[in-house]
C-alpha cells in the first residue's frame, strides 16, 4: 500500500475500527500498554484509506503517530475478515460496512452552501448563510444546536427561542435527508423529512420541551387521526 495524505473528510462517524495489536510488554501501574490501532475511512476525494495509529509513550496517551495508506476494496474486505477472526466485529457488521463502502460517494456536507433538501406544500427545509432553517406554513424558523445533549434550538422571526432537549443536530438532519436517509431519535423513532418538519413546527414557541413529549403529541395525534 502506498502512503496517502488525508487533509479532511475523516470525522469520527466515518471510521471503522477493524484491527488492534498489542506490543510485547507488561502492564505498569497508571500506564498504558503500547498498541497499534487500524481504521478505514473515506477522504473528500472518495478514496478509501487506512489509518494506522500508534501510541509512542505508554505513560502518555496524548503522544501518538498517525500514518495513512490508500487501499482498495479487496484489502478493506481482508481487514474486516481479520477483525471478525479476532472477535472485534460480527459478520452482520461486515455486511453492513461492505454495502456502505460500495454506496455512491457523496461529498461531506458543506455548511456554507445554500440548499433546499425538502419541500412540499407546507414545508421548506434547507440551509442558507450557514444556518439550517424550516419554513412552516409561511413562517421561517431558524435551527441551531447546543452539541452536548444535543439540544435543538428553534428561533422564530420575532427572536423567540424554543429548546428541544435530547433532539438533533440540524446539520446531521440535513445531511441525512439530502442522502435520502431517515434519522433516528434518542427514543428509537425514525424520522423522514416530513416527520422532522412536523416535529419542529409543533415544538416552536414551547420555550422548553423534551423530544419525547413532542413525539407523544405529534405522532399520537397522527395515529389517532388515521384510526378515527
* 125 and 118 Cβ atoms separated by less than 8 Å: yes
* 154 and 140 Cβ atoms separated by less than 8 Å: no
Helix (H) or strand (E) holding 102: helix 91-102
| Domain extents in the chain | 12-102, 115-227
pLDDT digits (tens, 9 = 90+) for 151-163: 899 999 999 999 9
pLDDT digits (tens, 9 = 90+) for 116-166: 999 998 999 999 988 899 999 999 999 998 765 678 999 999 999 999 998
Q: 48-58: buried (b, 16+ CB within 10 Å) or exposed (e) per residue? A: bbbbbebbeeb
Q: What is the mean pLDDT of residues 188-213?
A: 92
* 55 and 64 Cβ atoms separated by less than 8 Å: yes
3-state class percentages of the chain: helix first, strand second, coil last, to nearest 5: 30, 30, 40
Query: Which of the 8 DSSP states describes residue 56?
Result: S
Helix (H) or strand (E) holding 80: helix 73-85
pLDDT digits (tens, 9 = 90+) for 36-66: 777 787 776 778 888 887 776 656 656 777 8
pTM to 2 decimals? 0.54
Go through the chain and tell me how many residues it has. 228
* 145 and 169 Cβ atoms separated by less than 8 Å: yes
Distance, in Å, from the CA atom of 90 to the CA atom of 81, rounded to the nearest integer, reads 10
Query: Which of the 8 DSSP states describes residue 104?
Result: P
Amino acid at each position: 500500500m502506498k502512503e496517502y495524505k488525508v487533509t479532511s473528510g475523516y470525522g469520527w462517524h466515518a471510521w471503522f475500527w477493524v484491527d488492534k495489536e498489542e506490543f510485547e510488554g507488561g502492564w505498569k501501574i497508571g500506564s498504558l500498554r503500547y498498541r497499534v490501532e487500524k481504521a478505514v475511512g473515506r477522504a473528500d476525494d472518495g478514496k478509501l484509506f487506512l489509518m494506522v495509529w500508534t501510541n509512542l509513550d505508554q505513560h502518555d496517551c496524548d503522544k501518538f503517530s498517525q500514518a495513512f495508506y490508500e487501499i482498495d476494496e479487496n484489502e478493506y474486505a481482508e481487514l474486516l475478515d481479520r477483525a471478525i477472526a479476532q472477535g472485534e466485529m460480527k459478520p452482520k457488521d461486515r455486511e453492513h460496512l461492505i454495502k456502505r463502502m460500495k454506496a455512491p460517494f457523496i461529498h461531506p456536507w458543506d455548511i456554507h452552501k445554500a440548499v433546499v433538501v425538502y419541500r412540499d406544500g407546507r414545508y421548506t427545509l434547507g440551509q442558507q448563510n450557514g444556518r439550517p432553517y424550516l419554513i412552516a406554513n409561511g413562517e421561517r424558523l431558524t435551527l441551531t444546536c447546543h452539541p452536548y445533549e444535543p439540544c435543538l434550538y428553534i428561533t422564530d422571526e420575532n427572536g423567540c427561542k424554543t429548546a428541544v432537549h435530547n433532539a438533533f443536530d440540524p446539520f446531521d438532519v440535513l445531511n441525512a435527508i439530502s442522502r435520502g436517509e431517515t434519522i433516528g431519535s434518542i427514543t428509537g423513532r425514525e424520522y423522514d423529512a416530513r416527520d422532522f418538519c412536523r416535529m419542529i413546527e409543533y415544538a416552536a414557541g414551547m420555550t422548553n420541551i423534551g423530544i419525547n413529549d413532542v413525539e407523544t403529541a405529534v405522532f399520537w395525534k397522527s395515529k389517532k387521526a388515521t384510526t378515527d
